[in-house]
Structure 1
Amino acid sequence: MSVRSTPPSPSSPPSAPRRHLPRARGLLAGTAGAALVAGLLTAPAALAAPADLDPLGSASELGVDVPVQDDLLDGAAEAIPGRWLVQVSGDPALQGGSAGANRTTQKKVEDSAEAAAVPFTVQRSFTGGWNGMSVSMDDADVAALRQVPGVEAVFPVLAVEAPRPADAAPEDEYGNAMTGADTLQQVDGLTGDGVKVAVIDSGIDYNNPDLGGAGTDDETADFPGDRVIGGYDYVGDDYDSSTAGSTPQPDAYPDDCGGHGTHVAGIIGADGEVTGVAPEADLLAYRIFGCDGTSDTDVILAAMEQARADGADVVNMSLGASFMTWQDYPTAQLADSLVASGTTVVISAGNSGTSGTFSSGAPGVASDAITVASVDSTHRRSPFATAAGADRGYAAAEGAVAPPTSGELTLVAAGEAGTDAALACDPAAVPAATGEGQALLVSRGTCSFREKALAGESAGYDAVILHNNAPGSLSPTVEGDPALTIPVVMASQADGLALQEALAAGPVTWAWQEGTTVLENETAGLVSDFSSYGLTAELELKPDIAAPGGSIWSTLPLEEGGHGSMSGTSMAAPHVAGAAALLLEKPPELTPAQVKSAMMNTADPLTWSLAPDQGYLEPVHRQGAGLLDLVSAAHTTTSVAEPSISLGEGEDGPRTVTITVANAADEDRTYDVGVRHGVATGAPTSDPEFYAAEGIAEPSASTVTVPAHGSADVEVTLGEDFGEDGIIYGGWVTLTGTDEDLVVPFAGLSGDYQALTVLDDAGAGLPALGVSDGEGSVNLDPDGGHTYTMQDGDVPYLAYSLAYPAERFEVRAYEVKKNGKLKIVNPSVGHVAAEDHLGRTESPEVWAWDGSYALKNEKSKSVKNGDYLLELRVLKPLGDASDPSDWETYTSPRFTIANPTPGKPGAH
């Protein structure tokens, strides 16, 4: 996943997945004016720290722009109505099953579903890495389909947003130097020659000379070629899965019109103006995104299976469905199948780091894949202006006029540095421009970038120069209606303060410049602010490793200038994919598990990005083993059988784990055994509290000697006694030798996972019943009593927020009889809607009921008019469905259904 700056235009990183439980959802709006919105913007109260935890502050207190309701964009993944993935019984062929047997089982399921009056149309059949079908069907029939013999699970097809890069960047050579890729190229002569790397993305512009092309924009030329040797376009230019009626138009030419895939491919294997990590690797291009809009997990599954069939040694997937942290989602299952069959799979961790913990997603949560976090590079390449005697790099805001490459403006400060006036959040307080040729200097903070930009435009300025209020580069978005008519750019905190100081001493001129400049990165070597946190829903440690992804210069399609800069975990993953190609080129031949272990065992744990001068290490569930050290990975002769340790929940007390250390050298190796701890995180997941928390970590010995061509075991007791449920803690078991240092990351969750509250109040009294406002949004109706016509969206809504992943989500409906007794609707099934394995939500979501329900093995029916209430039930993650204490329940107030056409589902 990625975030990009000029060229092309920047935008914000994708946010949370939007899920359709089998009904349409609305947007949450305020009741009584802005009452609800105000509630949603209120951060949950911080929990008191347990006595043995040292609190370090919350994410928002430490300067993280924690998303709030007004800031949220559509999610990185939204379930597509009417499309589902049906997993059937039997192992996939790559996991020991039979493709023929799987096809037979799928046909039996299709026949049984038809006999049970649950019709569907098969779109694709999968038998190799995942055994199932993608189907189109009535959403109301999904509950019945789950009862059909042979059906193991039913998952929604997710619309996956094309990752939108957005940040300034350096030459790729800086990223290569950070991990030692340049050393392996120059000293060891490794280039990835003969290794096939598949790029499942928006395609590759194979016309780009850095990727083997002749330099002429022609999709029918240069393919297949010496560098991009094969691939397929699954979708065509116009496909957008989120647009009703949009259908894929595949063809033989996986040319890239979006830019993302070409940038990824250049990081892996460019050889020209940009030098990739593996500049002689063979590239395979599988295009699953159109020029704009979303793709879907059905198409992604097809591309994954084809990459394996085409003999890919490495598959790179810089994409994913944020917050879908369950490892049984089909794309994650298929990723593990590819690894089991001998393919190294590398996946981006996601760009939802500002949204807190449990924010990564599928397929990156796949257990055996290498999931990659992003680290900011040492330098960044940026468009720039000169002001106050220095070059001032900037990122252009999306939704504004493109900045010019010449001309001068006189800077005017919105207010004195450090004051509210400097924020330009009150348009009335912004000093009016006194004439043409002036730019307003504004500090980041409090209100949105768009509000600041509009205030400057309204005050008569010809440009708005925003500056950061914290270290690091950032690309803003000012999109909206009406569009901005002036340039808006974002400068660094240091440049902004320098300009403020210069303005206090006299006039300052901002002079636009042509081209780009290379600047030192203020956050070099720190985990990028957008990089997502683990754990998985099953409490497995993710991500696995970190690589340069913040501020990377690489290839772009010729029509976009040929080269440009992007940031994101999308850029970190291909760096690791290229590194895998180098390791696979070097004898002896490695398995995917050995590639992963070599990278993780030799990585270097990173300093905590939110307080880099305090001596703490970044949470292990955000960086994994640490920064990739490719030279050590290529030359180590020592390995650990398990690259990481996932401790799970801690209610049963500490665990003693055995670490097996193998030595392929001709001489014995002795290592000092130790433990380093990372910063821990606690509730709330959306704005986590950070703690200096050293759990129990007791090695059985202080040293271990590993014989030549032999192995030795080290036992380590790991756990916690914090006295608090839900603290995610961890660190690294360290093996320190004379010639090399090794690490084994570990993580766990304190106390009882099922003791945590899943249904979150969200500062708004959720869950709650809702009523349509008639304009596409939903008002809360906590007291009930509304009469729903079930027409034109006037249906009962449930607004809810999930603080943690949910094992199961159910809605039951009850008719309220005249005597006050409750009669359950759909007693043969027990509920009117259900879905398994939901990720935590980034913002409140809304489920709508049109009055219909699916009988067991039969078609849908609708309730009659009368009085009803709804019961929302959530099974806690990894909970026992037979244990009532593992369920959370909300019961709505009473409401009335008065449908003028009773028995028919309401229109939306």
Structure 2
Amino acid sequence: MSTSFKRLLAPIFVLVLALALAQPAGAQNGVEEVTPLTPAPSAESGQMRDETPRLWFVELTSPPAVNGTDPAQLRQEKNAFRGNAQRAGLRYRERFAFDTLFNGFSLQVEPGQLPTLSQIPGVKAIYPVVEVARPVAQPTNDPELATALAMTGADVAQSELGYTGRGIRVAIMDTGIDYDHPDLGGDGVDRENSPVFPTRRVVAGYDFVGDAFNADPSSPAYNPTPQPDPYPDDCGNAGHGTHVAGIVGANGRVKGVAPDVVFGAYRVFGCAGSTTADIMIAAMERALADRMQVLNMSIGSAFMTWPQYPTAAAADRLVDRGMVVVASIGNSGANGLYSAGAPGVGNKVIGVASFDNTHVSLRTFTISPDNAPIGYAPASGAPEPPTSGSLPMARTGTPTTTNDACNPLPAGSLSGKAVLIRRGTCTFHTKALNAQNAGAAAVVLYNNVPGRFSATVAGTPAITIPVVSISDAEGLLINNRLAAGDVTLTWTSQTGRFVNPTGGLISSFSSFGLNAELTLKPDIGAPGGLINSTYPLKQGGYATISGTSMSSPHVAGTVALLLQAKPRTPAAQVRNLLQNTAEPKPWWGNPGLGFLENVHRQGAGMVQIDDAILATTTVEPGKLSLGESEAGPRSVTLTLTNRGTAPVTYALSHAPALSTGPNTNTVSYLTGFATVTFSTESVTVPAGGTATVQATISANPSLPDRSLYGGYLVFTPQGGGQTLRVPYAGFKGDYQSIQVLTPTANGFPWLAKLNGPSYVNQPNGATFTLQNGDIPYFLVHFEHQARLLQMEVFEAASGKPVHPVHNTILREEYLPRNSTSTGFFAFAWDGTRYFNNGNDKTKDLPDGSYIVKLSVLKALGDPDNPAHWESWTSPVITIDRP
């Protein structure tokens, strides 16, 4: 294998699930693997980046202002840091200084100076400021949210119970809101160049970034410098925030979950590209100052599953101050377990999973000979499909062949035709480009698994022909007609409502928990797959988008309904009420088997807001995080509180859900259910009183170690009424048995040199001048989240520390896992070590030969237990300055 590794490339992770009929469920104490009827979509192949952060949070010693620290003390600590940083020679650019929800800064520093940053006096911890991507919309013109509202009971809460969210202030942290949109309180006149703000319904907000901001370093328009202004209008090229706001509370042609709320708009994205986590915290602080009651964050940092991460910790502090915080759990389901992200993993945050909508409104084309309508979604990165005209159709393969347009096609072979291409094997851009180069006039992509999907063909060279996506069933219909004879596609201006075969099941993209501390995440789910809502007027006014970005505002809207119905509910109690009354859904892989979807993927299940409003009994805690099973069975006490006027007797039972096997990146599904015993078979809760019951949960001893398991404790009222549930999840075996520093196919860790855009492995050691970027890099793959990374330097000849005490060159806490099975992080070293002679500063090591020991403490590990550490020692590093 070559020792050169492209900085901007990494091998591609593919999620593999066997294509086979599921076997019957085993006995209660047995373990069998069940396989989906069809495989889950894998992560589409394409260019992957080095995952090393470029910006850093610096946390200072004292708690932030919301925890009681005097503002003068916070100012003193920041001034002290600036002085100490200058004395240490730290070269940095200060982006934000935080006081309210986080005490510290966000900084841009050169990679080689990270050790210096971590050792500056007063620095409690450093964390990467992660890049946060924004999903891409698929525009349509048919405004329809009714089917999604019916899935959550929001339609009943509005029409029968009379709740609309009136008087509730909901913050939308996103791309801004098109507050000229008539469904969001505007008059339908686009005033982007002369904004009128605030408005009747968008009553507060701020633009933290400006139109040109783009935090994606791979973008040609990369511009990480914010240019804030007071007008948080959604950019016409963005739209995500307007869509999210519409789900929460549109009131016009589209009706959202809580159509009478008022909004705060906190814009953290430019017109294109990504944002960063530090801007999110700045927006959180502004939302608190604006007295928002609910905050929706349809954005997050995948694989950052630590609740200590600054965005998650800041969100928890908002809950402490009375604001309910709702956040998407992430769209990285294809990348395996522990893929949820902050802030949704916060201990007090409601982290939301996505279920597919039961129906979808789509634009249509027809096919001959009977003009059968086919619903389609336009692919982003391609021209808009026309609304009239006809094309002959062709296909590049059949469902049983491998010709899926991943290889170049004969020139002119598809001239003037709309070509049908099956999803899979390579990127959508590759397929579309090969068809375009063969003369195709349009591309129709069809799914290789049940249901619909959104596609993007953005890339270089650009795609210049229309590209649309359709379902697997529609693709097979066209394919069969092509096999029998000629088929003509006719574009139309019509839309139609189509049944979604995966409706009500977990969305293929929805991320898995648990979080890094084995806390149950996600907490709850809502419709997020194929949701139609408002969109900027310049972009047509309405759009269909998929993502946990869409499920989160459904829950935020239900929170507004709940707060209107029960206005004295503490923010910290809202999640319990929603979880108690949620409805678990069956496993996506084969619903007919009757297994429940993994608890660490759906949480408590689909939110049912009408039931939450009507329920008079609650069960606490609302969820159970069992931790490691090596400690033995877990006994918990549950308290039932009856606020009704009559006693209620509940029968107690257990509903297990499927487990997932030990492999993080390749998800397998297992039976092997836990067992639950209750202290009593039933419990009576007096009117206006409480009762307790004890449950003991035991992991199945036959379940493979490192599996994740879960289920539901069920409380069924005798004589009818609202069934209540408490989800639980746990880890089978010893959590610290998960290997963190896995070598992967590239043999990580590496000692490396950076040569232009490439890292070059130095397995036999290397000499570094420490000049002009010639510094050592350590490339590491993290298979799992790590509690602590520590790097220490030793004399190469003797193996002794370079100083009896001060030989540490880097300490970093709460690290994420890599997003793929072969991704990596690169840690640079500038040749200094921490040195304390009363001045608290770093010190250059003299020229010579050294080795670096890199150690990681595993998640929930005991730092005094050697078995909870992993380490790697570098080849010899020779420092030879000119």
Query: Quick check: TM above 0.5?
Result: yes
1:450-507 Cα deviation digits (max 9, x unpaired): 3322332233222222211101211223333222232222221001111111112111
Contact 1:210 1:555 survives alignment (8 Å): yes
Q: Helix, strand or coil: the match of 1:855? A: strand
Contact 1:828 1:855 survives alignment (8 Å): no
Alignment of structure 1 residues 631-710 onto 2, 5 Å: 631-710=610-689
Structure 1 residue 425 and structure 2 residue 406: aligned?
yes
1:101-120 Cα deviation digits (max 9, x unpaired): 44445445555666666687
Q: In the superposition, relative to structure 1, how do residues 689 and 284 fare at CA in structure 2: closer, same or farther (>3 Å)?
A: same
Q: In the superposition, relative to structure 1, how do residues 789 and 130 fare at CA in structure 2: closer, same or farther (>3 Å)?
A: closer
In structure 1, what residue type is equivalent to 2:46? D
* Aligned equivalent of 2:209, options 217, 230, 235: 235
Bigger mean CA deviation after superposition, 475-484 or 763-772:
763-772
Partners of 1:692 and 1:72 in 2: CA distance: 36
Q: In the superposition, relative to structure 1, how do residues 435 and 837 fare at CA in structure 2: closer, same or farther (>3 Å)?
A: closer
Structure 1 residue 417, shift from structure 2 partner: 3.0
* Aligned equivalent of 1:416, options 391, 395, 398: 398
Structure 1 residue 185, shift from structure 2 partner: 1.1
Structure 1 residue 511, shift from structure 2 partner: 1.3
In structure 2, what residue type is equivalent to 1:205? D
1:727-754 Cα deviation digits (max 9, x unpaired): 1111111101121100101111111111
Structure 1 residue 158, shift from structure 2 partner: 2.6
* Aligned equivalent of 1:304, options 270, 279, 284: 284
Contact 2:454 2:546 survives alignment (8 Å): no
In structure 1, what residue type is equivalent to 2:577? A
Structure 1 residue 565, shift from structure 2 partner: 1.1
Q: In the superposition, relative to structure 1, how do residues 465 and 775 fare at CA in structure 2: closer, same or farther (>3 Å)?
A: farther
Structure 1 residue 315, shift from structure 2 partner: 0.8
Structure 1 residue 134, shift from structure 2 partner: 3.6
> Which residue of 1 is the match for residue 304 of structure 2?
324
Contact 2:94 2:105 survives alignment (8 Å): yes
Contact 2:789 2:854 survives alignment (8 Å): yes
Contact 2:307 2:342 survives alignment (8 Å): yes
Alignment of structure 1 residues 21-40 onto 2, 5 Å: 31=3
* Aligned equivalent of 1:198, options 171, 180, 188: 171
Contact 1:603 1:626 survives alignment (8 Å): yes
Structure 1 residue 269, shift from structure 2 partner: 1.0
Contact 2:17 2:35 survives alignment (8 Å): no
* Aligned equivalent of 1:483, options 462, 470, 473: 462
Q: Helix, strand or coil: the match of 1:79? A: coil
Structure 1 residue 493 and structure 2 residue 472: aligned?
yes
Contact 2:175 2:239 survives alignment (8 Å): yes
Q: Helix, strand or coil: the match of 1:497? A: helix
Q: Helix, strand or coil: the match of 1:687? A: coil
> Which residue of 2 is the match for residue 271 of structure 1?
251
* Aligned equivalent of 2:159, options 165, 171, 186: 186
> Which residue of 2 is the match for residue 253 of structure 1?
231
Partners of 1:867 and 1:154 in 2: CA distance: 29
Q: Helix, strand or coil: the match of 1:185? A: helix
> Which residue of 2 is the match for residue 15 of structure 1?
none
Q: In the superposition, relative to structure 1, how do residues 205 and 137 fare at CA in structure 2: closer, same or farther (>3 Å)?
A: same
Structure 1 residue 165, shift from structure 2 partner: 4.2
Partners of 1:813 and 1:759 in 2: CA distance: 19
Partners of 2:516 and 2:260 in 1: CA distance: 38
In structure 2, what residue type is equivalent to 1:161? A
Structure 1 residue 37, shift from structure 2 partner: 9.3
In structure 1, what residue type is equivalent to 2:808? H
> Which residue of 2 is the match for residue 217 of structure 1?
190
Q: Helix, strand or coil: the match of 2:593? A: coil
In structure 2, what residue type is equivalent to 1:668? P
Bigger mean CA deviation after superposition, 164-173 or 228-237:
164-173
Q: Helix, strand or coil: the match of 1:758? A: coil
Structure 1 residue 144, shift from structure 2 partner: 5.0
Bigger mean CA deviation after superposition, 866-875 or 713-722:
866-875
Bigger mean CA deviation after superposition, 692-701 or 628-637:
692-701
Please list every run of 5 or more consecutive structure 2 residues that lacks an aligned counterpart in the other structure: 19-24
Contact 2:169 2:264 survives alignment (8 Å): yes
In structure 2, what residue type is equivalent to 1:240? N
> Which residue of 2 is the match for residue 159 of structure 1?
131
Q: Helix, strand or coil: the match of 2:861? A: coil
Identity of aligned residues (%): 42
Q: In the superposition, relative to structure 1, how do residues 534 and 42 fare at CA in structure 2: closer, same or farther (>3 Å)?
A: closer
> Which residue of 1 is the match for residue 540 of structure 2?
561
Q: Helix, strand or coil: the match of 2:592? A: coil
Partners of 1:180 and 1:130 in 2: CA distance: 37
> Which residue of 2 is the match for residue 463 of structure 1?
442
Contact 1:40 1:764 survives alignment (8 Å): no
Partners of 2:765 and 2:119 in 1: CA distance: 35
Structure 1 residue 63 and structure 2 residue 22: aligned?
no
Q: Helix, strand or coil: the match of 1:274? A: coil
Structure 1 residue 132 and structure 2 residue 112: aligned?
no
Q: In the superposition, relative to structure 1, how do residues 694 and 224 fare at CA in structure 2: closer, same or farther (>3 Å)?
A: same
> Which residue of 1 is the match for residue 431 of structure 2?
452
Structure 1 residue 646, shift from structure 2 partner: 0.6
Bigger mean CA deviation after superposition, 474-483 or 115-124:
115-124
Structure 1 residue 63, shift from structure 2 partner: 1.4
Contact 1:553 1:564 survives alignment (8 Å): yes
Structure 1 residue 270, shift from structure 2 partner: 0.7
Partners of 1:200 and 1:885 in 2: CA distance: 42
Q: Helix, strand or coil: the match of 2:579? A: helix
Q: In the superposition, relative to structure 1, how do residues 889 and 701 fare at CA in structure 2: closer, same or farther (>3 Å)?
A: same
* Aligned equivalent of 1:745, options 727, 734, 742: 727
Alignment of structure 1 residues 337-736 onto 2, 5 Å: 337-388=317-368, 389=370, 390-421=372-403, 423-427=404-408, 430=409, 433=412, 436-722=415-701, 724-736=704-716
Q: In the superposition, relative to structure 1, how do residues 860 and 618 fare at CA in structure 2: closer, same or farther (>3 Å)?
A: same
Structure 1 residue 692, shift from structure 2 partner: 1.1
Q: Helix, strand or coil: the match of 2:807? A: coil
Structure 1 residue 812, shift from structure 2 partner: 3.4
Partners of 1:779 and 1:461 in 2: CA distance: 41
In structure 1, what residue type is equivalent to 2:229? D
Q: Helix, strand or coil: the match of 1:822? A: coil
Structure 1 residue 892 and structure 2 residue 874: aligned?
yes
Contact 1:141 1:860 survives alignment (8 Å): no
Contact 2:13 2:43 survives alignment (8 Å): no
* Aligned equivalent of 2:759, options 751, 755, 778: 778
Contact 1:105 1:150 survives alignment (8 Å): yes
Alignment of structure 1 residues 73-112 onto 2, 5 Å: 73=48, 79-81=53-55, 83-90=56-63, 92-108=64-80, 110=82
Q: Helix, strand or coil: the match of 2:630? A: coil
Q: In the superposition, relative to structure 1, how do residues 170 and 763 fare at CA in structure 2: closer, same or farther (>3 Å)?
A: farther
Partners of 1:233 and 1:37 in 2: CA distance: 34
> Which residue of 1 is the match for residue 808 of structure 2?
831
Q: In the superposition, relative to structure 1, how do residues 829 and 368 fare at CA in structure 2: closer, same or farther (>3 Å)?
A: same
Partners of 1:779 and 1:554 in 2: CA distance: 48
Contact 1:696 1:718 survives alignment (8 Å): yes
1:260-285 Cα deviation digits (max 9, x unpaired): 11111111111111101111101111
Contact 1:551 1:566 survives alignment (8 Å): yes
Q: Helix, strand or coil: the match of 1:722? A: coil
> Which residue of 2 is the match for residue 21 of structure 1?
none
**TM-score, length-normalised on structure 2?**
0.90
Q: In the superposition, relative to structure 1, how do residues 96 and 641 fare at CA in structure 2: closer, same or farther (>3 Å)?
A: farther
Partners of 2:38 and 2:741 in 1: CA distance: 26
> Which residue of 2 is the match for residue 208 of structure 1?
181
Contact 1:809 1:834 survives alignment (8 Å): yes
Q: Helix, strand or coil: the match of 1:761? A: coil
Partners of 1:64 and 1:791 in 2: CA distance: 49
Q: In the superposition, relative to structure 1, how do residues 627 and 45 fare at CA in structure 2: closer, same or farther (>3 Å)?
A: closer
Partners of 1:693 and 1:190 in 2: CA distance: 43
